[in-house]
Structure 1
Amino acid sequence: GTCRYMSPHAYERRFPTCHLIPMFVDSEVLEETESEDGSIHQVQRRCKLDVDAPRLLKRIAGVDYVYFSQENTLNKRERTLHIESHNETFSNRVIIHELCSYSAHPENEDWTCFEQSASLDIKSFFGFESTVEKMAMKQYASSIKKGKEIIEFYLNQLEEEGISHVPRWTPSLDAPSSSSVTTKHVCATPKLLHLELPVTPAVSIPVSTDASDHEIATATNNDATQNKLDADYIKRYLGDLTPLQESCLIRLRQWLQESHKGKIPKDEHILRFLRARDFNMEKAREILCQSLTWRKQHQVDYLLETWTSPQVLNDYYTGGWHHHDKEGRPLYILRLGQMDTKGLVRALGEESLLRHVLSINEEGLRRCEENTKVFGRPISCWTCLVDLEGLNMRHLWRPGVKALLRIIEVVEANYPETLGRLLILRAPRVFPVLWTLVSPFIDENTRKKFLIYAGNDYQGPGGLLDYIDKEVIPDFLGGECMVIPEGGLVPKSLYRTAEELENEDISLWTETIYQSASVFKGAPHEVVIEIIDASSVITWDFDVCKGDVVFHLYHSKRAPQTPRKDPLVGQHSSSTTPGGNNVQLIDKSWTIGLDYSMVESPLTCKEGESVQGSHVTRWPGFYILQWKFHTMPGSASTNLPRVDDVLASLQVSSHKCKVMYYTEVIGSEDFRLVCVCVCVCVCVPINDL
């Protein structure tokens, strides 16, 4: 029989260009192949886009067009059309990958099933991350709405030409049975534009991973009616959510999109913090913001790429990842009873051990994502098996317990709801003492996930085999896998002096591009940047950790005086001192408009917000970044006598804000920034295949 098989033909009419898509300038076929029996037709195209971007950004980028590659595979036998797209231009700064799939409905061949997924990964753009994200998502949302109109236009055009149906494909009698592919046309690929840009730490913005159109449109926040997540997306990646829980996730994510430009965590990560606070929005938002600031300050997002375990850890640390449990959760095994905690602390220091544990947790998050894809269901936490055989009083060495408590505190604050189950095996008599010390630092919801077995109780019903397959049980628990080393005592020759450990601890946590500053009422914090060449770009990235501030950018031809000691603060700290400082540069005798001028509109930033921005300088001279205490309108009374003003100034320490910031200057000769690289497959037809 026959059926309407119009969508592929309508889709092909969009090429080499389409008057309905103004940004789609041109396209060329790079390679076209077809199987010998004619059932599979593949086309690789290179498409040219005129991106709707501000002229300033286009001028800075030095390009007018961007390019993306598209590969279409039409399978006439299976009645499917797959379209895969990715960007070429500036792919070292923006990675966009999109998949579209059309297939015949299994129960009604007059219907077409359409699936679409897209991911957007924006790396460091020197302050333009938020702009690029908004432009890309705006363009993508626009293409989604336009796609159906375009395909319907070409379907109507085909019908006007008298083509109302296409016969179902059938193999010809003399066609070979082989599905080998022959190349029909190949053209030379033009040389791609490639720019080497200055390298700074990347900022990853996971907008949507295999999410539906509905999810992507929600992320753009352009359509107020998009107040629900796609049911398939929830089932596939998040797990069961009540309507209230789903609403909390959407609202918290929207708040983050508005206040944390350029670093929105994935839905799975947001959901962990909501679950940790029983979906109390305010509490979850508070701890999530604190964690995001902590991750940013210490560059935790890049820990797996930058952290190299010291050799002493490789030799004497008795823990490691090992397959997964019966529920598909990654499995981590720790032989705590065999570990020389005192030796490791004396050889490495508390902070190195903490860094190692953080790398374990980051690896656990990565493995959860991988297992979610492998098992086809949400896996957001892992299982930890702790063997306590050999635990004795030497493990209760006070500095060692202190290090353990510090690790628990940091992990609890920044990795909530990542532990699915903790199996504690062969707990000795001394274990209750250790438990009494550490349990107050463990969240109640986490403690409920602990299963404790004394002696060999784990071998019976309700024991280890209920949670872990027999073939992955390690040898020291009666299995056949030899995975975790015994460790042994750390040689005292590897011990370090207290001074060496202190210096090591300091260096580990000061290896950050961010600085901290205190902002007081009446005492702003200021940073000066000297610009020699006009058209340089000043970039900034800061988080408001406490209180509300107003951010200004000023220009002056005069060099500010050296930082002065302000009596309101009581002390002067150098601008390079970590841990919080206050530096004032603009002299009180200066007059705005005469001695200095404002070059950016004031920006009011509330507690918990993250701000990225940039400024293209017009003149050489001195640019001053200022964070000023924000006073709410009407909070100060004009009727107060002068003595009250004096008393208020003496209590300025109670009016304190804190910011964490990073600034960078990109020279005009180096700064050729991408305006935006958006590869958009503007095809969202829901029509007959």
Structure 2
Amino acid sequence: MVQKYQSPVRVYKYPFELVMAAYERRFPTCHLIPMFVASDVVSEETSEDDSTHKIERRCALDVDAPRLLKRIAGVDYVYFIQRNTLNRKERTLHIESHNETFSNRVIIHETCCYSVHPENEDWTCFEQTASLDIKSFFGFESTVEKIAMKQYAGSIKKGKEIIEFYLKELEDEGITHVPRWLPCSQTIALPRPTSLSTTPCALPALPISEMNVFVFCVADKLDADYIKRYLGDLTPLQESCLIRLRKWLQETHKGKIPKDEHILRFLRARDFNIDKAREILCQSLTWRKQHQVDYLLETWTSPQVLQDFYTGGWHHHDRDGRPLYILRLGHMDTKGLVRALGEESLLRHVLSINEEGLRRCEENTKVFGRPISCWTCLVDLEGLNMRHLWRPGVKALLRIIEVVEANYPETLGRLLILRAPRVFPVLWTLVSPFIDENTRKKFLIYAGNDYQGPGGLVDYIDKEIIPDFLGGECMCEVPEGGLVPKSMYRTPEEMENEDVRLWTETIYQSSSIFKGAPHEILIEIIDASSVITWDFDVCKGDVVFNIFHSKRAPQTPRKDPHGITSPGGNNVQLIDKSWTLGQDYSMVESPLTCKEGESVQGSHITRWPGFYILQWKFHNMPACSATNLPRVDDVLATLQVSSHKCKVMYYTEVLGSEDFRGSMTSLESSHSGFSQLSATSSNQSQSSSMISR
């Protein structure tokens, strides 16, 4: 399997020419890199105007591998070929290197680039990508992979320190400025110095406040200092996972990219396995979109019964700066709340709490000057009894846990359970199997008054903010709860209607797609030059999207022959099998193949009145001839897709010509207000287009 690495952008607050002078001091050897034992120049070439310099080196590395492995391999050193291209005019250095030793067994390829910061010409950016493909190594493939990745990660971490060491060395020698390259015609009056100048470096005139901010917009790429300041200390490989997953989202969900801390939570939840994290993240983004969770804080108002009887609320922060949420579960009438509101209202209220928690984490990150990515929850169980084990109430609790676990991973930093009574083990037995193992490790349970001694509450919360009902001096505004009056209970019919209304308030529909059973929707156009817009997510499998036009209306929709429907929408087929393409109907857009996880938006300006059919069809992988053998990944993908149905979630809208001629932005049919999303979005083309995002 090919291991890939992509670094964040590392910024040196020095001009490019000075960084290059420091870089050259790494050769022929570098005492800061003990494994780098030698380098010989193989070839060297300079352009006539001296603007471009190319050099190829053969470098020897003393890899820190077990003696047994070195003896089996029969080598002491591993040799690499490095090709550098310095363009003084464009102020870039491109580096490419690959292994010469064992190249038939192991393929290592690395590319690096030094370039000028796009926002500040006196700063220098550094980026690095690499891949490792071990085909065979005497049966030690796994060992070699671990050694290679460990040493590579170590060298990445040390790379910036080395450049900064030589920059400091230059400064100690009085060298703080290196003139930029100038064409020959401009060097007559002022010849280019042959040695480094000692003219003081002109640093950019930035306010001190901005010099202390580590967020640099480097061509929409992550900066290493930004990661450390806002996301925390990550290993080089963890940084790489974040950057690669973010890049994939940019390619498939343009204009809808969650914030980096949001992506990072899903990566942590799956131990930085990109494929697994991508799967659950895409499912969560689809869920948020379908149920309008992005707008929850702006649109959701807690019913009065929740304000009076829901015994939970935010209360300052813990010793680590995490927002603190207090829940007096023992005082909560869960049965009364479920009977008065229904399961869906309770779920939506809990989701609003989680959304508020994300917002507070962002605020505390700015306040405390360090990454705050999760919150602490304190649950007081005084008063918990068998009434809380009412079956519908437990069912609602399990449903809430399931939804929160799937969509808010790694947001709970610590759960403090206080005054657990004897009945608590019964409740814990019921709910613990539904809680992720990593989450359960964050639980601290105290029975009786054990929380008051050493190792108790004061270890996690400052004494000054311990609530009064727990023996502290701080007044806590969390409602005390009590029994919900039965007069507020709803009838079963009212609860059922309320549940349906609450959780189906979405502009999106969904449908399943099978082989031979596409899903189609009909749009009638009366005025030509109208605009059909669409916004759909491919939730499962790969599909082909088509748009057809017909002068006559299709017959009554045919249901899916499989007899299977998807939640929220049926599989409907409109185009009769007797119809002939080109005679009864025509294709008005080129087919668009959409991969699982992609979000697709687009528009079509209609040329004729009539009936337009939007079709989502199961994507069949093309058969491969003997001369064009398939890749293993393609074969596996074919087997995987062929054994499952496809699923799409979609929304369409028709705009009259008078609605869009004044402003083409109206063609963007579905903006997201998700607070976790990027503010950038791509403009739609004024011509008919399908845009895969």
TM over 0.5: yes
Which amino acid letter does the alignment assign opposite residue 622 of structure 2? Answer: P
Choose the corresponding residue for 1:673, options 659, 663, 679.
663
Cα distance, 1:673 vs structure 2:
3.1
Q: Distance in 2 between matches of 1:594 and 1:273?
A: 50
Q: Distance in 2 between matches of 1:678 and 1:653?
A: 36
Task: Give the corresponding residue for 2:159.
Answer: none
Q: Distance in 1 between matches of 2:503 and 2:680?
A: 37
Choose the corresponding residue for 1:507, options 501, 510, 518.
501
Q: Distance in 2 between matches of 1:626 and 1:362?
A: 36
User: Identity of paired residues, percent?
Assistant: 83
Q: Distance in 2 between matches of 1:570 and 1:501?
A: 30
Q: Distance in 1 between matches of 2:240 and 2:376?
A: 29
Choose the corresponding residue for 1:560, options 551, 554, 558.
554
Q: Is the 8 A contact 1:569 1:653 kept in 2?
A: no
Q: Secondary structure at the match of 1:436?
A: helix
Task: Give the corresponding residue for 2:290.
Answer: 297
Q: Is the 8 A contact 1:471 1:481 kept in 2?
A: no
Which amino acid letter does the alignment assign opposite residue 588 of structure 2? Answer: V
Q: Distance in 1 between matches of 2:547 and 2:514?
A: 18
Q: Is the 8 A contact 1:521 1:655 kept in 2?
A: no
Q: Is the 8 A contact 1:334 1:385 kept in 2?
A: yes
Cα distance, 1:580 vs structure 2:
3.3
* Correspondence list, 1:190-229, <5 A: 211-214=215-218, 216-218=219-221, 229=222
2:536 matches 1:546? no
Q: Is the 8 A contact 2:311 2:480 kept in 1?
A: yes
CA gap 1:584/1:245 in 2 versus in 1, 3 angstroms: same
Which amino acid letter does the alignment assign opposite residue 436 of structure 1? Answer: T
Task: Give the corresponding residue for 2:486.
Answer: 492
Question: Structure 2: which 5+ residue stretches go unaligned?
Answer: 1-14, 16-117, 126-179, 191-198, 203-212, 627-640, 669-678, 682-693
Cα distance, 1:548 vs structure 2:
1.4
Q: Is the 8 A contact 1:520 1:653 kept in 2?
A: no
Q: Distance in 2 between matches of 1:160 and 1:307?
A: 70
Choose the corresponding residue for 2:647, options 653, 658, 683.
658
For residues 160-199 of structure 1, give each alpha carbon's deviation from its aligned partner in whole angstroms, at most 9, with x where no partner exists. 99xxx99x9xxxxxxxxxxxxxxxxxxxxxxxxxxxxxxx
Task: Give the corresponding residue for 1:606.
Answer: 595
Q: Distance in 1 between matches of 2:453 and 2:625?
A: 70
Q: Is the 8 A contact 1:548 1:606 kept in 2?
A: yes
Task: Give the corresponding residue for 1:647.
Answer: none
Q: Distance in 1 between matches of 2:394 and 2:582?
A: 59
Q: Secondary structure at the match of 2:403?
A: helix
2:618 matches 1:629? yes
For residues 537-586 of structure 1, give each alpha carbon's deviation from its aligned partner in whole angstroms, at most 9, with x where no partner exists. 211111111221110011222222221245x2337x7xxx9523111111
For residues 203-235 of structure 1, give each alpha carbon's deviation from its aligned partner in whole angstroms, at most 9, with x where no partner exists. xxxxxx974233x343xxxxxxxxxx4221111
CA gap 1:674/1:322 in 2 versus in 1, 3 angstroms: farther
* Correspondence list, 1:388-537, <5 A: 388-479=381-472, 480-537=474-531
Task: Give the corresponding residue for 2:278.
Answer: 285
Task: Give the corresponding residue for 2:62.
Answer: none
* Correspondence list, 1:92-111, <5 A: none
Q: Is the 8 A contact 1:546 1:607 kept in 2?
A: yes
Cα distance, 1:390 vs structure 2:
0.6
Q: Secondary structure at the match of 1:347?
A: helix
* Correspondence list, 1:251-330, <5 A: 251-330=244-323
Q: Is the 8 A contact 1:510 1:578 kept in 2?
A: no
Which amino acid letter does the alignment assign opposite residue 673 of structure 1? Answer: S
CA gap 1:636/1:518 in 2 versus in 1, 3 angstroms: farther
Question: Structure 1: which 5+ residue stretches go unaligned?
Answer: 1-6, 8-99, 103-110, 116-150, 169-208, 219-228, 638-651, 680-689
Q: Is the 8 A contact 2:315 2:476 kept in 1?
A: no
* Correspondence list, 1:228-243, <5 A: 229-243=222-236
Task: Give the corresponding residue for 1:357.
Answer: 350
Choose the corresponding residue for 2:238, options 239, 245, 250.
245
* Correspondence list, 1:133-148, <5 A: none
Task: Give the corresponding residue for 1:617.
Answer: 606
For residues 36-85 of structure 1, give each alpha carbon's deviation from its aligned partner in whole angstroms, at most 9, with x where no partner exists. xxxxxxxxxxxxxxxxxxxxxxxxxxxxxxxxxxxxxxxxxxxxxxxxxx
Which amino acid letter does the alignment assign opposite residue 559 of structure 1? Answer: A
Q: Distance in 2 between matches of 1:667 and 1:210?
A: 47
Choose the corresponding residue for 2:585, options 565, 582, 596.
596
Q: Distance in 2 between matches of 1:554 and 1:261?
A: 26
CA gap 1:621/1:416 in 2 versus in 1, 3 angstroms: same
Q: Distance in 1 between matches of 2:215 and 2:519?
A: 42
Q: Is the 8 A contact 2:215 2:225 kept in 1?
A: no
TM-score by length of 1: 0.63
For residues 455-483 of structure 1, give each alpha carbon's deviation from its aligned partner in whole angstroms, at most 9, with x where no partner exists. 11111111111111122211111222232
Q: Distance in 1 between matches of 2:439 and 2:409?
A: 8
Q: Secondary structure at the match of 2:476?
A: coil
Cα distance, 1:341 vs structure 2:
0.5
Q: Secondary structure at the match of 2:574?
A: coil
Which amino acid letter does the alignment assign opposite residue 581 of structure 2? Answer: I
Paired residues in the alignment total 467
Q: Distance in 2 between matches of 1:430 and 1:636?
A: 67
RMSD: 3.5
Q: Distance in 2 between matches of 1:331 and 1:623?
A: 54
Q: Secondary structure at the match of 2:346?
A: helix
Cα distance, 1:524 vs structure 2:
0.7
CA gap 1:654/1:635 in 2 versus in 1, 3 angstroms: farther
For residues 584-613 of structure 1, give each alpha carbon's deviation from its aligned partner in whole angstroms, at most 9, with x where no partner exists. 111222221222211111111122221111
Which amino acid letter does the alignment assign opposite residue 212 of structure 1? Answer: F
Which amino acid letter does the alignment assign opposite residue 603 of structure 2? Answer: S
Q: Distance in 2 between matches of 1:262 and 1:625?
A: 24
For residues 659-681 of structure 1, give each alpha carbon's deviation from its aligned partner in whole angstroms, at most 9, with x where no partner exists. 110011121101133469999xx
Deviates more, 1:628-637 or 1:516-525: 628-637
Cα distance, 1:534 vs structure 2:
2.2
CA gap 1:481/1:101 in 2 versus in 1, 3 angstroms: farther
Which amino acid letter does the alignment assign opposite residue 554 of structure 2? Answer: P
Q: Is the 8 A contact 2:214 2:225 kept in 1?
A: no
CA gap 1:565/1:273 in 2 versus in 1, 3 angstroms: closer
Q: Secondary structure at the match of 1:622?
A: strand
Q: Is the 8 A contact 1:580 1:658 kept in 2?
A: no
CA gap 1:407/1:593 in 2 versus in 1, 3 angstroms: same
Q: Is the 8 A contact 2:255 2:680 kept in 1?
A: no
Cα distance, 1:631 vs structure 2:
1.0
Q: Higher relative CO (CA 8 A, sep ≥ 6), structure 1 or 2?
A: 1
Q: Distance in 2 between matches of 1:337 and 1:678?
A: 45
